[in-house]
Amino acid sequence: MAYSSSLSDQEWEILEPLLPEILPLKKQTRPLKWSYREILDGILYRLKNGCNWCDLPKDLPPYSTVYWHYKQWRAVGSIEKLMTLLHEQVRIQVKKR
């Protein structure tokens, strides 16, 4: 189910190539059960709606998974790096006009 906070296909096409350069390297103990897109949708849902982590809808990844990734990414500055890269892309597009 898509929520108003869910990434569109077009938004995901912009974000996906940026993730390898901003996300911390993870020890591959086992493959991810949830995609990064699903995890990001969970984070965005929580941030937009201001709900408790445990109140994420059941069709999103488990709140413990979403929160763990959010906490890890925030601790190493991945979210800020992503925002910086996205702002740079917008600035480049505006200058081209």
User: Any idea where the domains of the chain sit in the sequence?
Assistant: 9-96
pLDDT at 2: 86
The answer on pLDDT for 1 being more than 70 is no
pLDDT in tens, 36-74: 999 999 999 999 999 999 999 999 999 999 999 999 999
Residue 41 has a CB neighbour count (10 Å cut-off) of 24
pLDDT at 32: 83
Mean pLDDT of 17-45: 88
pLDDT at 84: 93
Mean pLDDT of 11-17: 94
Closest CA to 43 of 71, 76, 62, 66: 66
